A and B are shown apart, each in its own frame.
Chain A
Amino acid sequence: MAQPITHEPEVTLELALEHGLTEEEFGWIKEKLGRTPTFTELGVYSVMWSEHCSYKNSIIELKKLPRDGEHLLVEAGEENAGLVDIGDGLGCAFKIESHNHPSAVEPYQGAATGVGGIHRDIFTMGARPIASLNSLRFGSMENPRVRFLLDGVVRGIGDYGNSFGIPVIGGEVYFDESYEGNPLVNAMSIGIVKAGETASAIAKGIGNPVIIVGASTGRDGIHGATFASEEISEESEAKRPSVQVGDPFTEKLLLEASLEALQTGAVVGMQDMGAAGIACSTSEMTAKGEQGMIVDLDKVPAREDGMTAYELLLSESQERMLIVAEKGREQEIIDVYEKWDLHGVVIGEVVDSGRVTYYKNGEIKADMPAEHLVLGGGAPQYVRETKKPAYLEETQNFDIDSLDHPEDHADTIKKLLNSPNVASKRWVHEQYDTTVRTNTVTAPGASNSGVIRIKGTNRGLVAKTDCNGRYVYLNPRRGGQIAVIESARNVVCSGGRPLAITNCLNFGNPYKPEVYWTFKEALGGMGDACRALNTPVTGGNVSFYNENPESAIFPSPIIGMLGLIEDVENHTTTPAIKSEGDVLIYIGADRKGLGATEYLKVIHGKTAGDSPELDIDFEVKLQEALLDAIKGGFITAAHDISDGGLAITLAEMCIFGKMGASVDVAALGGTTHEVLFSEAQSGVVISVSPSDVDRAMTHFAKAGVPAHQLGKAVGSDLKIAGLDSLDVTEMANIHDSVIPNAMDV
């Protein structure tokens, strides 16, 4: 239980510093207000100007990303989530967000409320969430604390999402020591809304009532946003009360009631309450509408007695929303929420003051211009100092050839399959409902990305989260490019056209020049790739301060790529080999370079070398040619090459297809271990039936994409010329049992 904050100390510079504001920021507030802020006002400024709410150290860089595109229905940052036109009169709202810090101290609730928060961002726009994905990063599984975190995070995501009733269709789990003590929990939600039925997070219309709906307000999560804006330390454990508690049942009611309320036509604006609760939703909606708002905090349904204005404004109690209604029609909205057994209480009204004014016990407790508080208004924006990290010199000059490379490649393949990063994540995704709502065409597991059909149309949506933090660590710019490129390649391998991205930028402390250099470079790389693929950035979230007492995490700009499949029944493509005799063809760039690979990490224990090679223009050509081929109907399977290289791609196609293959990789040139284990970009293995081989070879030749026949599907072993045979059942057992063996002891 959180400690009540009942007294109101005198506001001094020391108190402002304790609230996470700088001396300069405190001075600015005093100057613009023309007085010292009250204690309540100080609390509101401090959360609204926290990194989490204000993006003060990232917004200038974020604005350099491409944010326009023909499919976008709202501009990045304008609403709670991005909105993309997917045809048939439908829009798709989608967003990814982090809940790293809460999950580090309280994995179950941290992850659960992360899922709840991201779904609220979607249905506050009027869209019904229909799918979700989770991108998770943990330290080494050898560490019992890591296993505790993984168990708690997976249960938290499962219990919340399963009860809420949204299928998980994809995501990834990745392990590396750099995430020790600071796991990443990024949740993505995708929703559908009819064009013209979207809601906006705006307060306008003088005299319109302001209604709080959903759960009561308690003392949980006060200063959660501020907590998320500092490094995790020994003291973090004491901040466990800053973690909110989730209630998926109330969220489910809130979803159904909110979509029903929007149907009344009496809603002017709607915004969910996440970080900084009432303070954030009231000030952001007011600033967006360029109006003012009066709020009587005595009217807020409170879960605990004696809550002060400070606590009511900053509480991050979950499952609440703020609605501005048309004057005189508030009862229609309240009735809908009451039907669903939820509160709907008028707490204020829109006025023309340009200020947000909060009353408690008849007294004004806080009164400030709304515009002061928000991004794009008074909230500070900084350009931080940058410095290229010294480690890059060493890692990029590392001489991989000097290593003693083992000659038993079949054994190496087994060792890679035994790596938690390569191994099946079945243990994780079987704990998530993946089939509820009967739209899931490809679930997590034997797929390149998640595919759902859209009922009533021929279309499907494809989504993929991706980012190899090791690549970004070893070459931030190229790592940023690859994160986008690879997620797009996965979407294409599933038969979809990439449309747009959302991103969750997980980095260390931005006040460290090396961290900020990496941040800028990685964003630059993402921008390069997004421009080339014509997939604009629709929004997302920045999470800084991902550090533990020893070090920062791998810089991890997680990409959530959304794509569209025009004919979901016929174009959806999976990695599993389908029929004996099907011919396996490699399409793409040369397989060379072992830098930053899973092979180096697993076999040699090294995080070294340069990130995999990438020619963006060639990659775009490859993806276009592959998508055309899939639409042409002659591709029976497709699987991209990523962690573990070509060898693992082939092994997975066999494992998923429960079938062997006989292949020769000599045609690709180079040394065998490099061809098998390089993670060079722009590589895909496809299969076609024997009668379509000529057609496929001609197609890719015309497109300027090199294609090499590797062999065919046959028998029950994967036979790679020059290597010992690998029994597919044995490989499947290794692949499948790594995580269960570590977790269920």
Chain B
Amino acid sequence: MATFGVIVFPGSNCDHDAYHAMKHVLGCETKFLWHKDTDLSGIDFLIVPGGFSYGDYLRSGAIARFSPIMQEVVKFAEKGGPVMGICNGFQILLEAGLIPGAMMHNHQLRFVCKNVFIRCETTDSLFTGSLEKGQVFDIPVSHGEGNYFIDQDGLKSLQDNDQVLFRYSDAKGELTESANFNGSIDHIAGITNTGRNVLGMMPHPERAMEKILGSEDGKPIFESILNSLSVA
């Protein structure tokens, strides 16, 4: 059974959410990893959680990429190790150069916390292998800088290489303008790298794991990951 590592930066605040989802809801072996640590031995899957690492006063994720553990995360990913960055974790992975693009302030220039719908765009990844293409998930978002941007060449490359894993849609899976609430280019909610082992996504599937919290739609995403890991 795979062991999950959840990185704790000063200012991480969804570290406990990810830990609870993996450890208590899904029953996986899960460990916290302190940002000053550099030992990733025994970890099969890394989660870079949400929050405000180092306060994010400069630009989200801009400081965290320099932390000791991130140097190891980059090596881990370059060797093909699976890494999932959620929200601030996505921002950190962008800053660390593990996935392409950049994050701007939401187009309305306000923080937005609500449940949105995201659509699975491809099943060709270890994160989405057990999902269905076009499947729609009801997942919370909670961020001020989630307006994903990439230049036209970069976007074309993402599209050509099937690197977009999730897009913001409406409940029926339509890519309506209002569904793209933060103004992300091409409705992008989550992407992978060319090696297809790193995922960055703004929505929080780890907050949608239990019926009592309003949505269990995050579960299939993590179960898909578990399926891929058990096959591997």
Contact = CB atoms under 8 A, between A and B. Distances in A.
Q: How large is the interface on B (under 10, 10 to 19, 20 to 34, 35 or more residues)?
A: 20 to 34
Interface string A433-447: 111111111000000
A433 B17 CA distance: 13
Interface stretch (B6-14, B97-105, B191-199): B6-14
Given A159-B111, A441-B212, A433 B55 contact: no
A439 B214 CA distance: 10
Given A162-B111, A249-B55, A438 B13 contact: no
A248 B52 contact: yes
B17 A158 contact: no
B112 A431 contact: yes
B181 to A, nearest CB: 10
A163 interface: yes
Given A162-B142, A438-B20, A441-B213, A249 B111 contact: no
A431 B113 contact: yes
Contacts of A165: 13-14, 51-52
A569 interface: yes
Interface string B132-159: 0000000010101000000000000000
B59 to A, nearest CB: 14
Given A163-B56, A341-B10, A437 B112 contact: no
Contact of A163 (B17, B52, B212): B52
A453 B50 CA distance: 21
A440 B214 CA distance: 9
Contact of B113 (A430, A441, A455, A568): A430
Contacts of A432: 111, 113
A414 to B, nearest CB: 24
Nearest to B204: A435
A547 to B, nearest CB: 32
Nearest to A456: B24
Contact of A437 (B16, B54, B56, B111): B16
Contacts of B52: 162-163, 165, 248-249, 252
B13 A435 contact: no
Chain B CB within 10 Å, residue with most, of A159, A436, A453: A436
A430 B212 contact: no
B161 interface: no
A340 interface: yes
Interface string B32-71: 0000000000000000001110111100000000000000
B212 A249 contact: no
A619 interface: no
B108 A744 contact: yes
A435 B140 contact: yes
A230 to B, nearest CB: 33
A216 to B, nearest CB: 15
Interface in B78-136: 108, 110-114
B217 interface: no
Contacts of B213: 435, 438-441
Interface residues of A, number: 33
Contacts of B219: none
Interface in A396-437: 429-437
B55 A430 contact: no
B114 A438 contact: no
A162 B56 CA distance: 12
Nearest to A340: B10
A589 to B, nearest CB: 34
B21 interface: yes
B140 A252 contact: no
A677 interface: no
B164 interface: no
A168 B164 CA distance: 32
Nearest to B209: A438
Contacts of A248: 52, 55
B141 to A, nearest CB: 9
Interface string A152-171: 00010011001111000000
A341 B10 CA distance: 9
B167 interface: no
Contacts of A250: 55
A122 to B, nearest CB: 16
B209 to A, nearest CB: 7
B12 to A, nearest CB: 8
Interface string A593-610: 000000000000000000
A431 B142 contact: no
A647 B7 CA distance: 51
A569 B213 CA distance: 10
A249 B9 CA distance: 11
Contacts of B111: 158-159, 162, 430-433
Contacts of A158: 111
A568 B212 CA distance: 8
A252 B11 contact: yes
B114 A249 contact: no
Nearest to A570: B212
Interface in A242-285: 247-250, 252-253
B187 interface: no
Chain B CB within 10 Å, residue with most, of A163, A164, A431, A455: A163
Nearest to A429: B113
Given A252-B10, A441-B212, A430 B54 contact: no
Chain A CB within 10 Å, residue with most, of B17, B111, B114: B111
A104 to B, nearest CB: 22
A249 B142 contact: no
Contacts of A159: 111
A706 B14 CA distance: 47
A436 B13 contact: yes
A347 B181 CA distance: 51
A744 to B, nearest CB: 7
B56 A435 contact: no
A150 to B, nearest CB: 13
Given A159-B111, A163-B56, A249-B10, A435 B20 contact: no
Contacts of B10: 249, 252-253, 340-341
A48 to B, nearest CB: 33
B93 to A, nearest CB: 20
Nearest to A442: B214
A164 B13 contact: yes
Contact of B20 (A162, A252, A455, A744): A455
Contacts of B210: 438
Contacts of B114: 430
B206 interface: yes
A441 B113 CA distance: 15
B72 to A, nearest CB: 20
B14 A453 contact: no
Interface in B181-231: 204, 206-207, 209-210, 212-214
Contacts of A435: 113, 140, 142, 204, 207, 213
A521 B199 CA distance: 60
Contacts of A436: 13-14, 17, 50, 142, 207
A709 to B, nearest CB: 31
Contacts of A430: 110-114
Nearest to A439: B213
A3 to B, nearest CB: 26
B55 A438 contact: no
Nearest to B24: A455
The 3 closest A-B pairs by CB, nearest first: A165-B13, A249-B55, A163-B52
Given A165-B51, A249-B55, A430-B111, 20 more contacts: A162-B111, A163-B56, A165-B13, A248-B55, A249-B10, A250-B55, A253-B11, A341-B10, A430-B112, A430-B114, A433-B113, A435-B204, A435-B213, A436-B13, A436-B14, A437-B13, A438-B20, A453-B212, A568-B212, A569-B212
29 contacts: A159-B111, A163-B51, A163-B55, A249-B10, A249-B11, A252-B13, A253-B10, A253-B11, A340-B10, A341-B10, A430-B111, A430-B112, A431-B112, A432-B111, A432-B113, A433-B113, A434-B142, A435-B113, A435-B140, A436-B13, A437-B17, A438-B16, A438-B17, A438-B209, A438-B213, A441-B212, A441-B213, A453-B212, A455-B24
